């Protein structure tokens, strides 16, 4: 059974860099053709897609965050990571990692999600 688990600091100071890691178990990133992504949810608000990465390292970012976001993959550790620079209180959110599934015929919903981790930006 595929599982994803987010990890990283729960508190980040303004202007610093938010760093999170998603550890994947039950599937190997290096042998997978799936995409892996990050989504966030500010308290009491909706879901916001941040970006995705392929097993080979191709990345795609939301245009509104592109200048501050880096997503990377470490296939040796079966992990992928998120870095968000110059954070402000507006970046306070629950951050989820997820897998872009492949249901065939061009159907690619997000089918597996981590449990999410709350990151608060505060001094």
Compare residues 49 and 68 and give the one whose CB is closer to another protein.
49
Tokens representing residue 30 in the block: 């290096």
What is the closest distance, in whole angstroms, from the C-beta atom of residue 15 to another protein in the complex?
Answer: 28
Tokens representing residue 29 in the block: 């990133």
What is the closest distance, in whole angstroms, from the C-beta atom of residue 86 to another protein in the complex?
Answer: 23
Compare residues 15 and 115 and give the one whose CB is closer to another protein.
115
What is the closest distance, in whole angstroms, from the C-beta atom of residue 112 to another protein in the complex?
Answer: 9
């Amino acid at each position: 059974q595929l599982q994803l688990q987010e990890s990283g600091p729960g508190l980040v100071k303004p202007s610093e860099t938010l760093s999170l890691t998603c550890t994947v178990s039950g599937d190997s990133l290096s042998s997978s053709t799936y995409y892996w992504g990050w989504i966030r949810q500010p308290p009491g608000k909706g879901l916001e897609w941040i970006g995705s990465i392929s097993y080979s390292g191709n990345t795609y970012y939301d245009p509104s965050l592109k200048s501050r976001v880096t997503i990377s993959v470490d296939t040796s550790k079966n992990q992928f990571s998120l870095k968000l620079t110059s954070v402000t209180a507006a970046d306070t959110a629950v951050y989820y990692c997820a897998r872009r599934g492949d249901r065939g015929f061009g159907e690619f919903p997000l089918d597996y999600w981590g449990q999410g981790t709350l990151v608060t930006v505060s001094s």
